Amino acid sequence: MKIAFLGLGHMGLPMARNLVGAGHDVIGFDVVAAAVEAARAAGIPVATSGTEAASGADVVLTMFPSGRHVIEAYDGGLLAAAPPGTLFIDSSTIAVDEAQTAHERAVAAGHRNIDAPVSGGVVGAENGTLAFMVGGSDEDFAAALPLLEAMGKRIVHCGGPGLGQAAKVCNNMILAVSQIVVGEAFVLAERLGLEHQVLYDVVSQASGQCWALSTNCPVPGPVPTSPANRDYQPGFAGALMAKDLGLALQAIEATGTDARLGRLAQEIYAAFAAGEGGGRDFSGIITDIRDASAPPVPTP
Ligand code: NAD
Residue 222: CA atoms inside 13 Å, Cβ hemisphere, count? Answer: 19
| pLDDT at residue 300, rounded to an integer | 61
Do 20 and 43 touch, CB atoms closer than 8 A? yes
- Determine which residue's CA is closest to atom 9 belonging to ligand 1: 9
pLDDT the model gives residue 119? 94
Q: Tell me if 177 sits within 8 A of 280, measured CB to CB.
A: no
| Residue numbers annotated as active site | 168
Query: Cis ω on the peptide bond leading into residue 77 (within 30° of 0)?
Result: no
What pLDDT score does 2 carry?
97
Residue 83: its pLDDT value, please? 98
Cα-based torsion angle of the residue sequence 162, 179, 264, 188 in order, rounded to the nearest 10 degrees: 170
| Angle, CA 285 vertex, CA 284 and CA 287 arms, to 5° | 75
Query: Is the shortest distance between the CB of 64 and ligand 1 below 6 Å?
Result: yes
Q: Which residues of the chain have pLDDT under 70?
A: 297-300
| 229 CA distance to ligand 1 middle (Å) | 27
- pLDDT of 297 reads 67
CA of 143 relative to ligand 1 center, distance in Å: 23
Quote the pTM value.
Answer: 0.95
Interval between CA 241 and ligand 1 midpoint (Å): 14
Residue nearest to atom 36 of ligand 1 (CA): 93
Q: Kindly give the number of the ligand 1 atom that is closest to the alpha carbon of 119.
A: 43
Distance CA 241, CA 173 (A): 9
DSSP for 42-79, written as a single string: TT--B-SSHHHHHHT-SEEEE--SSHHHHHHHIIIIIH
List all residues 6 or more positions away from 59 whose beta carbon is below 8 Å from its beta carbon.
1, 2, 3, 4, 86, 87, 88, 89, 144, 147
CB 158 near ligand 1, within 6 Å: no
Residue (of 51, 56, 50, 52) closest to 35 by Cα position: 50
